[in-house]
Amino acid sequence: MKLKDKVLSRLIKENTYCSGTNLSEEFGVTRTAIWKAVEQLKAEGYQIAAVPRRGYLLLQKSDIFQEDTIQELLKGCHINWKIQPYHMLDSTNRLAKDLAAQGASEGTVIMADVQTAGRGRMGKSFHSPKGGMYMSIILRPDMAVTSMMSITACTASAVHMALAEYGIISQIKWVNDLFLHEKKIGGILSEGSFQAESGRMEYLVIGIGINVHPDPEMPEELKPIVTDLETETGRNVPRYALAALILKHLEKFISEIENYTYLGIYQKHSCTLGHIVRTDDGREGKAIGFTKDAGLVMQLENQKKEVIRTGSVKIIR
Ligand code: BTN
């Protein structure tokens, strides 16, 4: 992590002035290096007061770091959500998995403003610049590992519902992608650990990434296929409020998972159903429905039906 990001993370956590001397001792650098790091942050648009003999104070915290506001919005929830915000991480899923393996409790949520090594499904990377909403949720559901796909689908439905509260009607591409106007606006990566003997989950980490604001440095190859909420709708969706709404809807869908309430939303807003799709191993067929646990039912050319439960599909037409 660069010094400026370490300094920013420290200023975000403090509600009072941080002295330059303390920061320089903490990070093992000179006070001039701290001053330079603060100047870089100011150039990036962070408002930081520098007062002689008191130190540095971050005046306006990034919206995602309004931890208290998120907690306020989550009042009345049954899950004890505990928000841990970071400015920059390699991957919120990586940290959440490490914490879960060390015993972090259900409801721990890791958020980051930027990810330097965001992970996508199938070993792909997930481009995670400033302006996105990146969070990973630790759950400890008493479920068989085979239910993991339902939770990913629950999460996609929860994201859809949260966006709908802003009048944004997204579409869900099986199994984990969120689309708006035929371009990807976000994705979900569920990872977990289970007990080999019982096949029950030990913990589940659900990672959600949503492109909220435009990325001025978006790689050329992503431009035709990826977009963000602000570009598509002109709306400035506050990331902290979006995160809180997703958690609320997710909690509700999970509590009703045995009634499959999430599935109605998942089906209604699917952009996969009715299309000819191709699986990763090259089979083609029409997507005609979902099983209760969100497997994709495909009708093959020989009219036989097949349920796809792993990998991804490409929409052909
Ligand atoms: C995909 O589109 O393939 C899934 C993308 C999942 C990205 C999110 S961002 C927050 C969390 N941390 C990660 O490293 N990945 C997930």
* Per-residue model confidence (pLDDT) at position 233: 92
* Per-residue model confidence (pLDDT) at position 45: 63
Distance 215 CA to ligand 1 centre (A): 17
Question: Which ligand 1 atom is at minimum distance from the Cα of 186?
Answer: 2
Ligand 1 probe mutation, 89, 114, 126, most atoms within 8 A of CB: 126
Distance 209 CA to ligand 1 centre (A): 5
Do 151 and 204 form a contact (C-beta atoms < 8 A)?
yes
Lowest mean pLDDT among 39-48, 60-69, 240-249, 299-308: 60-69
Would you say residue 29 has pLDDT above 70? yes
Question: Which ligand 1 atom is at minimum distance from the Cα of 115?
Answer: 14
Q: Cα separations (Å) of 188 from 36, 76, 174?
A: 37, 25, 11
Q: What is the distance between the alpha carbons of residues 250 and 43, in angstroms, rounded to a whole number?
A: 38
Q: What is the distance between the alpha carbons of residues 93 and 110, in angstroms, rounded to a whole number?
A: 8
Distance 223 CA to ligand 1 centre (A): 18
* Per-residue model confidence (pLDDT) at position 86: 86
Q: What is the distance between the alpha carbons of residues 292 and 252, in angstroms, rounded to a whole number?
A: 17
Question: Which ligand 1 atom is at minimum distance from the Cα of 93?
Answer: 12
Chain centroid offset of residue 175 CA: 15
Distance 282 CA to ligand 1 centre (A): 25
Give the count of beta carbons closer than 10 Å to the beta carbon of residue 62. Answer: 17
By alpha-carbon position, which residue is closest to atom 11 of ligand 1? 207
Q: What is the distance between the alpha carbons of residues 165 and 104, in angstroms, rounded to a whole number?
A: 31
Counting every residue written for the chain, the total comes to: 317
By alpha-carbon position, which residue is closest to atom 1 of ligand 1? 120
Quote the percentage of the chain above a pLDDT of 70: 97
Would you say residue 109 has pLDDT above 60? yes
Would you say residue 159 has pLDDT above 90? yes
Taken in order 304, 307, 310, 314, is the CA torsion positive or negative?
A: positive
Q: What is the distance between the alpha carbons of residues 20 and 10, in angstroms, rounded to a whole number?
A: 12
252: helix, coil or strand?
A: helix
288: helix, coil or strand?
A: strand
Distance 252 CA to ligand 1 centre (A): 22
- What global pTM score does this model have? 0.83
Which of 257, 314, 259, 245 lies closest to 285, judged by CA? 314
Distance 189 CA to ligand 1 centre (A): 5
Distance 87 CA to ligand 1 centre (A): 16
Question: Which ligand 1 atom is at minimum distance from the Cα of 90?
Answer: 14
* Per-residue model confidence (pLDDT) at position 2: 82
By alpha-carbon position, which residue is closest to atom 7 of ligand 1? 209
By alpha-carbon position, which residue is closest to atom 2 of ligand 1? 187
Distance 50 CA to ligand 1 centre (A): 36
Would you say residue 64 has pLDDT above 60? no
By alpha-carbon position, which residue is closest to atom 16 of ligand 1? 207
Q: What is the distance between the alpha carbons of residues 17 and 20, in angstroms, rounded to a whole number?
A: 9
- Residue 246 or residue 313, greater confidence: 246
Distance 1 CA to ligand 1 centre (A): 20
Q: Tell me what the mean pLDDT of segment 217-226 comes to.
A: 92
51: helix, coil or strand?
A: strand
Would you say residue 106 has pLDDT above 80? yes
Burial of 218 (0-12, 13-18, 19+ CB in 10 A): middle
- Tokens matching residue 238: 């506050």
Residues with CB under 6 A from ligand 1: 91-93, 115, 118-121, 124, 126, 128, 134-136, 176-177, 187-189, 207-209
What mean pLDDT value characterizes the chain? 90
Question: In which band, very low, low, confident or very high, does the pLDDT at 310 lie, cut at 50, 70 and 90?
Answer: confident
Do 6 and 36 form a contact (C-beta atoms < 8 A)?
no
Quote the percentage of the chain above a pLDDT of 90: 60
Q: What is the distance between the alpha carbons of residues 118 and 216, in angstroms, rounded to a whole number?
A: 18
Backbone angles phi, psi at 254, to 5 degrees: -70, -40
Q: Tell me what the mean pLDDT of segment 119-123 comes to.
A: 91
Taken in order 135, 168, 211, 150, is the CA torsion positive or negative?
A: positive
